[in-house]
Structure 1
C-alpha cells in the first residue's frame, strides 16, 4: 500500500532553529515510510494505491507520475496526469481525489472536470452533473460535454433539458452520431417511432458499424411491427465486434495510458481509431519486440502501416509473420489485401487462395478473392467466389453487394436486383449500395 498526502503545516511565528529541525526531521521520516507532506492552502488529501497484483509496468508508470506531483504539488497538470493514469488502471478512488485536486488548481482546464464527471456518472450522479456543467462552462463551444450531461439527465427523467443539450450538440456538430442517437432515444421513449427511425438512419449512414445505432434501430423496427427487418439487424449485430474502443477523444486518451500487457490490443486499436497512426505503429513495433510469438500484434501493425500509406512495410511485417505462423488464414488474408493495394493482383489472389486453403469457409477471403478476379476480368470465377462467400456467411452483406454489382454489369438485371436488395436489407446505411439498387430497379423497369 502506497500513500500520498498533502497537508498544511501548523502556522506559527518566531520559529527557532530547533523547531525547524524537528519539523524537517518529521518530514524526512514521513517520506521514509511512504507519506508526503506539502504546504498547501487546501485541506489534506490522502491517496492510497494498492499495488498488490499490479504488473511492474503499471507500478512504475504511476510512481513516476506520483513523483511529478511530489515535485510540483501546486501543478494541476501534474495532478491531472496522475489522475488519468490511476483511472486507466482502475484505481478509481485515488483517481477521483486527484481529479478534484487538479480542477481546483487548474480551473481553466476542461479535461479534469470532464473526465471526473464521466467517471462518476454511475456512482455519484449529483457530483457528475456539477463536474460536467463546470466542463461545459470552461468549453461552451464544444459539443462533447453536452453529450454525457444530456445522457445523465435522461437517466434522471429530465428529458426536456436533455433534448436541449442534444440539440445544441447536433447544431455544433451536425455529423455527431452520439447526439443523433440521443435524440433518437428521446423520440423512441416518447413513442414517436418514425422520427426515431429517421434519426437512426441518419446516424447509420455516418457510422454503419456503430453497434448502439444498430441496436436502437432494431428495437424501433420491432416496436413498429417490422419484425423481419428487426431480426435481420439482430443477426447482423451477432457478426459485429463486441469490444469497442471509445469514440470520445478524452476518454481514449485515458485508455491509451494503460500499461498492462493484456490491454495491448485495445490500446493500439484506440490509437488507430483516434487517428494516431504513427504512434500506434511505434507502439506495436515495441510490443512485437517485447512480446514475440503473438499473432495479433503483427496483424495490427500491418493494418496500421497499410492505413498510413506504407504498404511495402506492411508487406514485410506480414511476410515475416507468415513464416512464424504458416497456418494462419487471417495473416494470408491481410497479406492479400496489402498486395492488392500494391496492385500485385496475381500475388494477392494467391494469398487469398492460401487463406481459403487453410480455412475453406472463410467468407471474407472468398469475397476478396472474387474482387481480385473481377479486377482481372475473370468474371465467372469471381461470381463463383461471391456465391461461396454467401454460402458460408448468409448474413455477409458484402457478398451480396459484390455479386449484385457483377450481375448488373453483366446485364443480368433481375438477379442483380435480388442480390442488391439483400445487401441493402443487411446494411441499410451503405449509400453506394442503395444507389446501385436504385439503378438496377430503374433498368429493370425499362
Structure 2
C-alpha cells in the first residue's frame, strides 16, 4: 500500500514574499501600460517654451514665415522637423539665440539626424567655438563622409591651435572632396603655423589653381614667399591680390545654402547693397535699395543708406523725394533729420559755389 503524498506547505513568510513579488510585477506592468498610454494619448508640453521672437523690424514675408513655422512647433512639440524648420528660418535671419534653442530641440527629438548638431555648430562657430566643435563632432559621428563638416571642424580646431586634430579633420575632408580650395587653404595655413613654409607653398598653389580670383589666397601666397625669402614673388602676389575680384573663399555647403535660401527679407538686400557700394557700384546699389523699400518701407536702415548714397551721387531731387516719403513713415527719426540737415548743408554749399 503506497503512502499518500502530503501536499507541500509553503511557509507563511515565503508565501507573503511571493505575493509581494507578484504585486510589484503587476504594479510595474500597470505603470508601464499607463505610461505608454499617457505618452501616446495625453497632451504634451515641450520641455522648453517656443522662444519669443522680436519681429518688429522684420519684413512681412519673414513675419508670416516665422509665424507659420511657430504654429507647427506648437501643434507638434515633439517634431524634430518642426523645431528644425523654425530654427533654420531664425538662423537665416540672424536670430542666433532663438535659433540655437530650436536646433537643440530638433536634435533632442531626433538624435539620429546629423543636420541638427551640424547647423547648431554652424550657428555657434563665432560666439561659442568650443561648443561648436562638440556639435560638429556629434554630427560627424552620425555621418562621417561629410567633407564640409570635416573642413568646418578642422578650421575651428586650427583656430584653437589643436594642430594634430585639425590635420586629421582636414585630411579627411581632402580624401572626401579634393576639389574644394578651402581644404587646401587650411592645410597650407596649418603647415605655415607649424613652420613648414615649403609644404604650405605646395598646398597654397593647389588652392590658387582651383580658385585663382580670390584675394585671400594670393595674400597667403605672398606671406609664404616672404617667409621663404622670395621677395619678388611676394610682391607679385600682393599686386595680384589687389586686382582679385573676390575677397575670400566661398563655402561648398549644400545645407548652409539651403538655410541662406530662406533669407528673403530686406536685411539680405541691405547687405547686397553694402557689398555693391564697397565694390564701387553705387548705381546698382541704389536700384537694390529702391526695390527693397518697395517691398517694405519700415526698415529705416534701407532709407538711411539710400539717402547717404543719393547724397554722395548728388541726386538731390531723388533725395528730397525719398526723405519726404520716409518722414511720413518715420516722423520721429533723428537719423532722417540728420540726413536732411546734411542735404540742406550741401545744397547751400553748392549754391554758394
TM over 0.5: yes
Distance 1:83 1:152, change over 3 A: same
CA deviation map 1:95-146 (0-9, x unaligned) = 0000000111122222111111122122222221221111101111222211
Asked if 1 retains the 8 angstrom alpha-carbon contact of 2:55 and 2:63, the reply is yes
From the superposition, tell whether residues 183 and 154 of structure 1 become closer, same or farther in structure 2 (CA, over 3 Å).
same
The one of 154, 166, 169 equivalent to 2:170 is 166
Matched, 1:122 2:126: yes
Change (3 A) 1:249 1:88: same
Q: For this pair of structures, how many residues does the alignment match?
A: 236
**Is contact 1:45–1:97 with CA below 8 Å preserved after alignment?**
no
**Cα distance in 2 for residues equivalent to 1:291 and 1:245:** 26
Q: Distance in 2 between matches of 1:139 and 1:211?
A: 33
Match of 1:248 in 2: 253
Q: Which blocks of at least 5 consecutive residues in structure 2 are unaligned?
A: 1-42, 273-286, 295-353
Partner of 2:279: none
The 5 Å alignment of 1:286-435 reads 291=291
Which residue is 1:399 aligned to?
none
Deviation at 1:233, TM superposition (A): 2.4
In 2: Cα distance, 1:104 partner to 1:39 partner: 15
Residue 244 of structure 1: how far off its partner (Å): 6.7
Which residue pairs with 1:205 in the alignment? Answer: 209
Taking only aligned residues, the RMSD between alpha carbons, in angstroms, comes to 2.7
Q: Secondary structure at the match of 1:49?
A: coil
Work out the CA distance in 1 between the residues paired with 2:232 and 2:146.
Answer: 40
Match in the other structure for 2:151: 147
Distance, in Å, in 1 between the alignment partners of 2:154 and 2:72 is 35
Trace 1:9-24 onto structure 2 (pairs within 5 A).
none
* Cross-structure match for 2:84: 80
Match of 1:257 in 2: 262
**Structure 1 range deviating more: 135-144 or 229-238:** 229-238
Matched residue of 1:178: which SS? Answer: helix
Q: Secondary structure at the match of 1:145?
A: helix
1:184 to 182, 188, 197: 188
What is residue 110 of structure 1 aligned with on the other side?
A: 114
Q: Which residue among 192, 198, 201 is the counterpart of 1:194?
A: 198
The structure with higher relative contact order (CA 8 Å, sep 6+) is: 2
Deviation at 1:247, TM superposition (A): 2.9
| Deviation string, structure 1 residues 240-297 (Cα, Å, up to 9, x no partner) | 2347754322222211111213525989xxxxxxxxxxxxxxxxxxx99x94999xxx
Deviation per CA, 1:303-359: give whole Å up to 9, x if none. Answer: xxxxxxxxxxxxxxxxxxxxxxxxxxxxxxxxxxxxxxxxxxxxxxxxxxxxxxxxx
| Unaligned residue ranges in structure 1 (runs of 5+) | 1-37, 268-286, 295-446
Structure 2 SS opposite 1:258? coil
Please state if 1:48 is matched with 2:56.
no
Q: Deviations over 1:369-414 (max 9, x none)?
A: xxxxxxxxxxxxxxxxxxxxxxxxxxxxxxxxxxxxxxxxxxxxxx
1:13 counterpart residue number: none
Q: Is the 8 A contact 1:245 1:252 kept in 2?
A: no
SS in 2 for 1:83: helix
CA contact (8 A) 2:222 2:237 kept: yes
SS in 1 for 2:51: strand
Aligned to 1:231: 235
C-alpha contact 2:167 2:187 (8 A) present in aligned 1: yes
1:26 matched residue in structure 2: none
Q: 2-side partners of 1:49 and 1:72: how far apart?
A: 19
How many Å apart are 1:181 and its aligned residue?
Answer: 1.5
Q: 2:213, 2:246 within 8 Å by CA — same for their partners in 1? A: no
Residue 209 of structure 2 aligns to a residue whose secondary structure is: helix
Counterpart for residue 100 of structure 2: 96
Distance 2:193 2:53 in 1: 42
- CA distances 1:142-192 after superposition (whole Å, capped 9, x unpaired): 222111111111222210111111112111222222221121111111121
Q: Distance in 2 between matches of 1:130 and 1:160?
A: 17
